[in-house]
Chain A
Amino acid sequence: TIGMVVLDKMGHTAAGTSTNGIKFKIPGRVGDSPIPGSGAYADDTAGAAAATGDGDILMRFLPSYQAVEYMRRGKDPTTACQKVIARIQKYFPNFFGAVICANVTGGYGAACNKLPAFTQFSFMVYNSLKSQPTEEKVDCI
């Protein structure tokens, strides 16, 4: 799955996802990606976020919407992303998932759920302070 958030110079936000889901799914199964608030979410007055991972679990917690609401209340993007992951961990400690977050001033962050085979999450960043697309990593929590 690709989850993407974009803010233009004026701070107009947009978010989106595209995926082919999970291998060997039962026909008809749809994951979190096309669900606004789960796969991705954007609101010019608060920020934008996108999620990736086990869609059957993520979908139930609306992680992208929740992250944006945390940023609306002043949390920085990394903290907002971490709080969303922590919420899901309580119910599904072994879920596979990651979230990216951006606030209205162009700050960004990410978080992921730590598993034995998944301890870091890579994501891409490109803004006016960089001269090219840059891969960044976060340690999972």
Chain B
Amino acid sequence: SSPLPLVLNTWPFRNATEAAWKTLALGGSSLDAVEGGCASCEVEQCDGTVGFGGSPDESGETTLDAMLMEGTTMNVGAVGDLRRIKNAIGVARKVLEHTTHTLLVGESATKFAQSMGFVDEDLSTKDSRALHSDWLAQNCQPNYWRNVIPDSSKYCGPYKPRSVFKQDGSIHKETGYGYGHD
């Protein structure tokens, strides 16, 4: 007998798997199921790397990225650097359904989401604010700058390009586990 249908997701986010499965069981499409599963992680924040209140940027703001792809028509909807909107995967669904574009980013993506009826709200939390202030207190370490003045491995910015490009060969700092990842 065929093992289909199948729900497969990264990390042990069980509730997301369950939400996707229930969506299928209620007659939803595979796209509905992916949206439902990812949305449940956005609400629960899962391990802190999904949804509001996680991964504050250098200014302390949490912004979201999300994408949906449908394998029958190859239709895609995606948002990047989405600000002040919690349901990023829901906005990605609107991009897929109501535009012929593929990816909307930044403040403009937030305006699009508002026009689609999504609520504009602050995505930071007590935890993300504490994380950010601790980071500031530790001279903004770690960070993702290089070849700048002041020395980004010791000081916070703002930074300016170092005039002489130091050939250190590294075109990307390999961060390894635990440093921060998507």
Could you name 20 residue pairs across A and B whose Cβ atoms are closer than 8 Å?
A: A5-B6, A6-B7, A6-B33, A8-B30, A13-B30, A14-B31, A14-B34, A14-B70, A24-B58, A31-B182, A32-B182, A34-B65, A40-B67, A57-B172, A96-B177, A102-B8, A122-B12, A123-B9, A124-B16, A126-B6
Q: Report if A4 contacts B (CB, 8 A).
A: yes
Alpha-carbon distance between A15 and B72 when the two chains are bound, in angstroms: 11
Shortest CB-to-CB span from A88 to chain B, Å, is 11
Binding site for B on A (CB under 8 A): 1-36, 39-44, 48, 50-58, 92-98, 100, 102, 105-108, 115-118, 122-129, 133, 135
Binding site for A on B (CB under 8 A): 1-14, 16-18, 20-21, 24, 29-31, 33-35, 37-39, 41-42, 46, 49-52, 54-59, 61-72, 74, 76, 78-81, 88-89, 92, 102-103, 105-106, 123, 131-132, 135, 140, 142-145, 172, 174-182
Given A23-B180, A34-B78, A39-B67, verify A135-B12 contact (CB < 8 Å).
Answer: yes
> Across the two chains, which residue of chain A brings its CB closest to B37?
A4
Chain A residues closer than 8 Å to B180, beta-carbon distance = 22-25
Contact of A26 among B11, B37, B42, B57 (CB under 8 A): B57
The answer to whether B102 touches A13, judged by C-beta atoms less than 8 angstroms apart, is no
The answer to whether B66 touches A18, judged by C-beta atoms less than 8 angstroms apart, is yes
Chain B residues closer than 8 Å to A123, beta-carbon distance = 8-12
Alpha-carbon distance between A27 and B61 when the two chains are bound, in angstroms: 8
Shortest CB-to-CB span from B71 to chain A, Å, is 3
The answer to whether B143 touches A24, judged by C-beta atoms less than 8 angstroms apart, is yes
> Across the two chains, which residue of chain A brings its CB closest to B123?
A20
The answer to whether B172 touches A92, judged by C-beta atoms less than 8 angstroms apart, is yes
Given A23-B55, A25-B57, A108-B8, verify A55-B181 contact (CB < 8 Å).
Answer: yes
Chain A residues closer than 8 Å to B64, beta-carbon distance = 18-21
Alpha-carbon distance between A26 and B78 when the two chains are bound, in angstroms: 20
> Across the two chains, which residue of chain B brings its CB closest to A54?
B181
The answer to whether A5 touches B56, judged by C-beta atoms less than 8 angstroms apart, is no
Chain A residues closer than 8 Å to B33, beta-carbon distance = 6, 8, 14
